[in-house]
Amino acid sequence: MATELRRQNIYDGEGDRLMEEPENQATDRIILLPDARPSKTPDRTPRQRIMWGQHLLEDLLAGRYRSLVCAVNPKDNSHGIIAQLATLLPTSQWDEKSITGFAKQFSTEGESVKVLKYDMDTVEVLALLRPASHERMTLKDLSLGFKVVSEMIRLRPSRLPSAAVSFLGARSNALVDNDGREPSFETVLRIMYDAGYTGDIYPAPAMWAAAPTAVYARYPFPRSLEAMRHGGS
């Protein structure tokens, strides 16, 4: 007779029961879906890992990454992760004022996005600087920037492992689509991936309240999602 599989506990003691939440309870929740079952023959397709619920600053300070991809602007970076990281890294010689001043030197040159390098000793920040004529970063800026970033990493593998912010929910470095609205997370992932970037992606903390929408931990997403969008199952 077939043996009924017992549900695997997540927490010790009564932790599983205590952590159960009513569906209508207002709290940050992430419903994570596996995109495939583990196999004896691993799929070697390059993928981005999506770091739901993980703290980027803490991971950077713990030395888990050699490079970080984010945005920078020539006016005010006091709320950006680049300035926060510079302040917290003990051997970094950058601060918000010098970060912004360095970006200002390049902000009037050309009509294409630039990738500025900030060496913070244990972490190298590859910062996308949008053209001076763009009030906000566009999807084209993002694509061109990540093509440069991907090539920089390919030519210098010591920049691996690499992490990137999601470029969503930003203030001074807002990202917009062709209609002037903030794009979907999937659009951002696709642009990064098509540009050749397969580092870890950190969603904005505001996205941690994604439930009841379920999310995947890797990109590209499984083909079943596209099938559902076209009416399949």
Read off the pLDDT of residues 10-57 as tens digits, 9 standing for 90 and up. 677 887 787 777 765 656 789 999 988 888 888 889 999 999 999 999
Say what the pLDDT of residue 1 is. 46
Question: Would residue 204 count as lying in a domain?
Answer: yes
Question: Would residue 129 count as lying in a domain?
Answer: yes
Integer Cα distance of 232 and 37 in angstroms: 21
Contact 23, 203 (CB under 8 A): no
Say what the pLDDT of residue 24 is. 59
Question: Residue 212, preceding bond cis, omega within 30 degrees?
Answer: yes
Question: Would residue 62 count as lying in a domain?
Answer: yes
Say what the pLDDT of residue 36 is. 85
- Single pTM value for the model: 0.91
**pLDDT, average across residues 62-80:** 96
Burial of 122 (0-12, 13-18, 19+ CB in 10 A): middle
CATH no. for residue 117? Answer: 3.40.220.10
Residue 75 neighbours by CB under 8 Å, 6+ apart: 100, 172
Mean pLDDT of the chain: 91
Strand partners, 49: 218
How many domains is the chain partitioned into structurally?
1
Say what the pLDDT of residue 19 is. 75
Which residues of 73-160 form beta strands (DSSP E)? 114-119, 124-129, 137-138
**pLDDT, average across residues 128-155:** 97
Question: Would residue 28 count as lying in a domain?
Answer: no
Question: Would residue 25 count as lying in a domain?
Answer: no
Question: Would residue 40 count as lying in a domain?
Answer: no
Instruction: Give residue 219's domain range.
Output: 46-229
Question: Would residue 70 count as lying in a domain?
Answer: yes
Residue type, 178: N
Question: Would residue 84 count as lying in a domain?
Answer: yes
